Amino acid sequence: MVYGVIRNLQASLKYRGGWKGLFEHMYTNGDYPFKFGTYMGADTAGNRYYENRVDYPFGQHRWVEPGDIHNFDSASIPPEWHGWMTSMNDAPPSGEEAYIEERKKNIIPLCESDANIDHNVGHQEEVYNFHHLHNLSTVRSRGWNIGNPVVGLPPGAKDSYYTQPGSPYNDASIRPRVNIGDLGGGRVYKSEKWADRLRTVDEKAALEKAKEALTQKAIASEEASAARRKMVMAQRGAGTVAGA
Q: Are 214 and 222 in contact, with CB atoms under 8 Å apart?
A: no
Q: In which band, very low, low, confident or very high, does the pLDDT at 29 lie, cut at 50, 70 and 90? A: low
Q: How far apart are CA 128 and CA 134, in angstroms?
A: 9
| CA Rg value for the chain | 38
Give every CB contact of residue 234 below 8 A, 6+ residues apart in sequence.
241, 244
pTM above 0.85, yes or no: no
Consecutive H or E run containing 98? helix 96-104
pLDDT at 188 over 80: yes
For residue range 1-24, what is the model confidence (pLDDT) as tens digits? Answer: 566 667 777 777 776 677 877 777
Distance, CA of 39 to chain centre: 33
Category of 17 on φ-ψ map: left (φ > 0), alpha (ψ -120 to 50) or beta: left
Hey, CA dihedral for 89, 93, 95, 96, is it positive or negative?
positive
Side chain identity at residue 95, one-letter code = G
Measured in whole angstroms, how far is the alpha carbon of residue 125 from the centre of its chain? 24
- End-to-end Cα distance, the chain: 113
Residue 65, beta-bridge partner list: 48
Kindly report which listed range (30-39, 105-114, 149-158, 230-239) carries the lowest average pLDDT score. Answer: 30-39
- The domain segmentation of the chain, as residue ranges, is 2-108+120-139, 140-164, 175-244
